[in-house]
Structure 1
Amino acid sequence: MRLDWSPETASKAYIDTVKSCQNFKESGVAELLSAMAAGWNSKLIVESWSYGGPIATSVGLSVAAHHTCGRHVCLVPDERSRSGYVKAMQEAGMSSTVVTVGEAEEVMEGLAGVDFLVVDSKRKDFARVLRSAKLGHKGAVLACKNACHMAISGFRWHYVLERGTRVVRSTFLPVGQGLDIAHIGANGGDVGSKKGPSRWIKHIDHQSGEEHVFRG
């Protein structure tokens, strides 16, 4: 998790994502994740996607990567998903995302230094993607979408992460079908132990009008 939080970059990514996703009838998950990825200056943003899934979050992460001059990589399980993803992103005006096909362990092997990772808990392999991630030495932010059912079942981050991974803090947000977010500490020291001002991130769900404020 990086300490150089940029509210200006986060705000720009949020606004651009709102504009890019105005035709998608989805919750504000895309805008929130885009602002977080951009605000933390994420250079390697990774997500998982499968055929038929919503595309708004992908658009938001692509916007964030543009603002940080980073890379946005999407992991898909098969060629059918790859074709569907590329087509959907092109229709949304996004074409810079790198798409990789294969099993979680295989594709994550070539992605060292992940700063921001988003998985869909509806995918059967979401835990494998999390466990296989090679996180950046400065830490990372991990997010699980559609996490409402995980909260009910007693989901815990240490169940799915590689042994020894330091979860500095985690939070569940009632946005969309639920977002479970974890901040992972840097290698060689716990980010949470470093002194630094806390950042508060405000997100407004454009469908319900609800305001969510959480510590970044």
Structure 2
Amino acid sequence: MKLVWCPDTASKAYIDTVKSCELFEESSVAELVSAMAAGWKAKVIVEAWSVGGVVSTSIGLAVASRHTGARHVCVVQDERSRLEYVEAMLRGVGVSPEVIVGEAKEVMMGISEVDFLVVDLRRKDFARVLRVARFSNQGAVVVCKHANAVGTSFRLRGVLPLTTRVVRTVCLPVGKGLDIVHVGSSSSGGDGDGGGGGGGTGSVTKGTGRWIRHVDEESGEEHLFRK
């Protein structure tokens, strides 16, 4: 990855988030995510928030964005979600980041150069959010919350766009479980699978055979069939 880690910025964001999230649940997730976003010097931070969820992670991301000068965007599904989110953020820290309402594919396709993405896996459309994300050429970090409850860690590679070069993945027992994926920079080359696009059905050539790749729109599971 071309993202460069800055421990000093990470520690400052961590400490500020600890102070800001004293009264919130899942503060451990917020502190970790804030430190990661700040440490990687993220410039475009996007979160796909789920209605009914706490905003501690959002506060952590807001803190990180202040330290890195990042654009912080929250993606919600409807006006009710937007109102709930903004009200919770105003109560928590007195400010709200940019909020975009709309269908996952349309909204995510309109945000480019994403280098830090946080997705709540309780959203029914989480697979679509991940599949159409437009990552930065410098690389990106993807954080998926509530991984234990949904049980998606084994199929995240299949949910991400086919051209995504996954450098490493890790599952952490923090909060309700975090799945973290590091996406490599585009200049480092692909993984040799070829192809393009995200979900649906596509073809991949491997060796002398031809494989048909299909991704389930709802579950995000990937299947390969040899033709």
Fold equivalence (TM over 0.5): yes
- Residue identity opposite 1:160 in structure 2: V
- Residue identity opposite 2:63 in structure 1: V
Match of 1:170 in 2: 169
CA distance in 2, matches of 1:71, 1:161: 22
Matches within 5 A, 1:78-117: 78-117=78-117
CA distance in 2, matches of 1:154, 1:88: 29
CA distance in 2, matches of 1:149, 1:25: 17
Match of 2:180 in 1: 181
Q: 1:16 to 1:158 in 2, by over 3 A?
A: same
CA distance in 1, matches of 2:59, 2:17: 7
Shift of 1:27: 4.3
CA distance in 2, matches of 1:54, 1:111: 24
Shift of 1:99: 0.1
Matches within 5 A, 1:16-27: 16-27=16-27
Conserved in 2, the CA contact under 8 Å of 1:27 and 1:175?
no
Q: 1:109 to 1:26 in 2, by over 3 A?
A: same
Match of 1:74 in 2: 74
CA distance in 2, matches of 1:162, 1:36: 23
Q: Deviations over 1:13-45 (max 9, x none)?
A: 000000000011324000000000000000000
In structure 1, stretches of 5+ residues that fail to align are 192-216
In structure 2, stretches of 5+ residues that fail to align are 191-227
Shift of 1:87: 0.6
Match of 1:54 in 2: 54
CA distance in 2, matches of 1:166, 1:71: 24
CA distance in 1, matches of 2:181, 2:189: 14
Conserved in 1, the CA contact under 8 Å of 2:43 and 2:65?
yes
- Identity percentage of aligned residues: 59
Match of 1:37 in 2: 37
Conserved in 1, the CA contact under 8 Å of 2:139 and 2:182?
yes
Match of 1:159 in 2: 158
CA distance in 2, matches of 1:190, 1:64: 29
- Residue identity opposite 1:164 in structure 2: T
Secondary structure of 2:138's aligned partner: coil
Match of 1:210 in 2: none
Secondary structure of 1:58's aligned partner: helix
Q: 1:35 to 1:190 in 2, by over 3 A?
A: farther
Equivalenced residues, count:
191
Q: Deviations over 1:130-162 (max 9, x none)?
A: 1110000001000100001444x6622221011
> TM-score scaled to structure 1, two decimals?
0.84
Q: Which has the higher contact order (CA 8 A, sep 6+)?
A: 1
CA distance in 1, matches of 2:119, 2:10: 21
Secondary structure of 2:113's aligned partner: strand
Conserved in 2, the CA contact under 8 Å of 1:2 and 1:41?
no
Conserved in 1, the CA contact under 8 Å of 2:89 and 2:96?
no
Q: 1:154 to 1:184 in 2, by over 3 A?
A: closer
Conserved in 1, the CA contact under 8 Å of 2:148 and 2:176?
yes
> RMSD of aligned C-alpha atoms?
1.7
154-163 vs 31-40, greater mean Cα deviation:
154-163
Q: 1:189 to 1:121 in 2, by over 3 A?
A: same
Secondary structure of 2:122's aligned partner: coil
Larger Rg: 2
Shift of 1:4: 2.0
Conserved in 1, the CA contact under 8 Å of 2:50 and 2:122?
no
Secondary structure of 2:90's aligned partner: helix
